[in-house]
């Protein structure tokens, strides 16, 4: 297939690479061209705008940063839907509000285009290994067409329902992770204070009831002092804010979500926004009051 791919950051770069590895022809547009350099060297083409990248293609995929980026990429003056000949299928793999996914779907339908929201979970590791969890919202025929593409990037792919359903499912995912991440950081802080070997502790708890993707993948990074991003804290705060707002719209009072969001907000205010989510550990080690 001829695929426009918008966004080659921490996760998007690897995801685009898997598509190229399977023989698909990519036209790439991203805010910082240097981040796409290795893909261009492998044979991908470059376009200055999302509209230019998408024009006449079979499919367009975007994974960018914030909701305003998603809106610009799909609905902006130089966005995918403003292409002279938009692709028949457009896919947003960014985590963004369900309401925005529905708005993109409505604009796409008006142009005879099918829109899919397909946010992902698994971080840089899942993106590199092609083992992402992909949560899909959209109409069944378009999803069926896109499924072989998703299978190149992910391992767990579930069609959740109509437009916005993928994004709602991602909110569940982020709510689950948020509190667990705090528990992981505090647990490892406790292990250190007790004089335990952190690696051995992870070996014990990682396979039991406390086992999680975070402790088994991010726990070792914490022990190694590696706080570089597999997923940015500032992006996680964005996700939790979306979840908080969606919960409020459904008259849900999710206290653990509110507590976690406040902690991530503190991390951003302390200058950790461009670090990986495991860098919450730095807050817990720096300020005992913050973890109380």
Query: Can you name the residues that pair with 156 across neighbouring β-strands?
Result: 133
Distance, CA of 231 to CA of 125 (rounded, Å): 10
The one catalytic residue among 170, 200, 238, 255: 170
**Residue 266 CA to chain centroid, in angstroms?**
21
Distance, CA of 60 to CA of 81 (rounded, Å): 10
**Residue 109 CA to chain centroid, in angstroms?**
25
3: left (phi over 0), alpha (psi -120 to 50) or beta: beta
Distance, CA of 33 to CA of 191 (rounded, Å): 43
Q: Which two tokens stand for residue 168?
A: 């709602």
Write out the E strands in 119-182: 120-121, 132-137, 154-161
Decide if 133 contacts 155 (C-beta within 8 A). yes
Distance, CA of 275 to CA of 164 (rounded, Å): 28
3-state secondary structure of 48: coil
Torsion sign, CA atoms 3, 5, 10, 11: negative
Distance, CA of 120 to CA of 209 (rounded, Å): 24
Tell me the C-alpha to C-alpha distance, in Å, between residue 156 and each of 109, 120, 121, 291: 27, 10, 10, 34
**DSSP state for residue 270 in the 8-state scheme:** T
- 255 flagged as catalytic: no
**Residue 292 CA to chain centroid, in angstroms?**
29
Catalytically annotated residues: 170
């Amino acid at each position: 297939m001829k695929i426009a791919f918008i966004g080659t950051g921490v996760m998007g770069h690897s995801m685009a690479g898997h598509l190229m590895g399977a023989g698909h022809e990519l036209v790439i547009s991203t805010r910082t061209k240097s981040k796409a350099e290795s893909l261009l060297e492998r044979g991908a083409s470059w376009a200055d705008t999302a509209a230019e990248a998408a024009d006449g293609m079979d499919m367009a995929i975007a994974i960018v940063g914030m909701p305003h980026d998603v809106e610009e990429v799909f609905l902006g003056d130089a966005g995918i839907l403003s292409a002279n000949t938009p692709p028949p299928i457009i896919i947003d793999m960014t985590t963004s509000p369900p309401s925005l996914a529905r708005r993109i779907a409505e604009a796409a339908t008006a142009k005879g285009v099918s829109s899919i929201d397909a946010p992902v979970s698994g971080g840089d590791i899942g993106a590199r290994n092609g083992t992402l969890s992909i949560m899909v919202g959209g109409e069944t025929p378009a999803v069926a067409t896109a499924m072989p593409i998703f299978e190149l990037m992910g391992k767990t792919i579930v069609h959740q329902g109509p437009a916005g359903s993928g994004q709602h499912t991602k909110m569940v995912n982020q709510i689950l992770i948020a509190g667990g991440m705090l528990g992981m950081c505090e647990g490892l802080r406790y292990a250190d204070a007790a004089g335990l070997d952190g690696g051995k502790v992870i070996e014990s708890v990682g396979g039991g009831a406390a086992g999680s993707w975070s402790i088994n993948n991010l726990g070792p990074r914490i022990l190694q002092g590696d706080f570089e991003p597999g997923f940015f804290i500032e992006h996680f705060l964005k996700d939790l804010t979306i979840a908080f707002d969606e919960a409020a719209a459904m008259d849900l009072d999710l206290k653990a979500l509110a507590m976690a969001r406040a902690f991530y907000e503190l991390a951003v205010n302390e200058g950790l926004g461009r670090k990986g989510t495991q860098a919450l550990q730095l807050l817990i080690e720096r300020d005992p009051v913050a973890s109380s």
